[in-house]
Structure 1
């Protein structure tokens, strides 16, 4: 390739990477920035301030992480967030044995490392780690396991750590209020969805057979409801994906039930003033659906599962959803006639 073409290409890449700072007329460059830098199209192309924030995070990730940590510390949001996350971990540990494919040894293997993490969070050692983080930038390399603007928690096996982005916590909602439990359930779903995939497991013949049976069950549902999408992807992959999604949703619901203080302490069902006929359980599932609202951009959906299917398919296999909205009995078949895939042990509700 001629050197002049190489220079032109490099100059074009520079323009793409600084697109958030360029005039509004250059929308196409911002589209390219979104795809090349973020790896996807977004619905916030007109929001230049957000694109600029993403560019700064991409260019100076450690500084951005430190700024996010300092902001949370100033608002005392970091302490409350850790406390809530510790409670989430406790809920997860208590309920891992509820899954049909979990043997007693698997439950123990999952509980041991996480229990140590919970103890560390609960002690003053956490404050010392935070002080070291601000004083020593080298710790940011270990601390930063993902974007603070991301919308999904990530598990890093090498560090044995779960990164929960600051963006997942809605700072506009008082953390000491019952309403925050709805936002916590959102974190619970995304947190557990990443953690459960990488949990160490030890299978017995019975638990392995149950796991394979569940994956097959979800595969059949995917083939029946997503024939076009299933034809482009491995059905075992889809089976495992929906198993993870449904399992995470079940644990998020348990976290919601246990951490909704007004219901736990006063035995009162939390209802919003403008939605007096909507129960707390119904609101939980509504929040879950709203969390999957996204851009209608065709390019965005080209290789992704449609949002309505990401919501509907797991919900069909969660009995509390059917009970909350008075749906038909799901003991054996879903509405589409596919076998009900029960991820929980028999007798666990």
Structure 2
């Protein structure tokens, strides 16, 4: 239906949900909003997103390639206008109803129903594109996702809106929004949110970076390309991404993880002040900071075959989303005692591909638990 495969094609409920998501995204979006309201997430999540934006603005100055001028400009842009939008944008269809009341829908044939509704949705989209003119088409083509689906679990930067679209499905509503578990899940939603925010910094600059910044970025890209080529065999997968084509995504993923961890540290400090720095009873030796990286690894666990890995598109395979960035996050090796004779600590070069300025980064680091 949309290039997806299901392990059990007899699961008609899942097939129905995917069909509704595709041809009636407004219905799916309303359902997501209802779940959010029921879980009292409609207030908690926007508050958390606002905190993450503020933390991002504070900490982008630590990125190794950012000049003082770009730091000031980007901080101003983020503070002037919120950079995120929770849920779907409505620019694709100004009518947010689940189905047009002007049409009669056949209910005796699911296939015919699907065909008619799909045609109606396509006509409405084309009419809207014509109505708003060519700027829409240009911006739409440039969008990171085409378009963002209600069940998507990836935040994406939308060039037309100039904002990061954050799908509600990114958040796990099975845990209370004010719990330690929800805070630890920043390893999921903060990393993915920051990945999209960094894309906005890379592609939406009002001015080109200066020569010094460009050289620093190129040095980092070469470092990641080299490390991907020399990655220990135990950390690889059978389907290795091309180093030259993947180095930018690795840089973006590493920077997102590094900044998300700092945001987690800063926000966790508040919980610690309330004497709620909890550890799991069965994992007493893992601090909150260590658990963050455990959650990050678990969030990227996936069962995929060779065909999927060959067609993973712009996303890195799971092994490289986890192993490679963690090797270069400043705090990871000390937290897990990764010495130079371990796979995660062994580097074939004199230094790690550090995306932040180590001296200022550690100077302003919150105290560990």
TM-score range, shorter chain: 0.7 to 0.9
User: Is residue 56 from structure 1 mapped to residue 58 from structure 2 by the alignment?
Assistant: no
Aligned to 1:173: 175
Structure 2 runs not aligned, ≥5 long? 99-124, 126-135, 137-145, 363-369
1:193 touches 1:244 (CA, 8 Å); kept in 2? yes
Q: Which moved more, 1:238-247 or 1:338-347?
A: 338-347
Per-residue CA distance 1:114-143 (angstroms, 9 max, x = gap): 21334999xxxx9xxx9x99xx7369999x
RMSD across aligned positions (CA): 3.2
Match of 1:318 among 329, 343, 359: 329
Match of 1:291 among 271, 291, 299: 299
CA distance in 2, matches of 1:47, 1:336: 47
CA distance in 2, matches of 1:51, 1:227: 31
Q: Aligned-pair distance for 1:107?
A: 1.6
Q: Aligned-pair distance for 1:44?
A: 6.8
CA distance in 1, matches of 2:4, 2:68: 41
Aligned to 1:184: 186
Match of 1:281 among 269, 285, 289: 289
Match of 1:250 among 241, 258, 265: 258
Q: Aligned-pair distance for 1:163?
A: 1.3
Aligned to 1:115: 79
Aligned to 1:238: 246
Aligned to 2:67: 103
2:340 touches 2:346 (CA, 8 Å); kept in 1? no
Structure 1 runs not aligned, ≥5 long? 1-32
2:333 touches 2:345 (CA, 8 Å); kept in 1? no
| TM-score normalised by the chain length of structure 2 | 0.71
Q: Aligned-pair distance for 1:274?
A: 2.0
Q: Aligned-pair distance for 1:290?
A: 0.6
CA distance in 2, matches of 1:322, 1:223: 21
Match of 2:163 among 161, 164, 167: 161
CA distance in 2, matches of 1:175, 1:42: 31
Distance 1:146 1:227, change over 3 A: closer
| TM-score normalised by the chain length of structure 1 | 0.75
Which structure is higher in helix share?
Answer: 1
2:239 touches 2:306 (CA, 8 Å); kept in 1? no
Equivalent position SS for 1:276: coil
Per-residue CA distance 1:133-182 (angstroms, 9 max, x = gap): 9xx7369999x961221121011011112111111111111111222111
Q: Aligned-pair distance for 1:267?
A: 6.5
Aligned to 1:30: none
Aligned to 2:357: 345
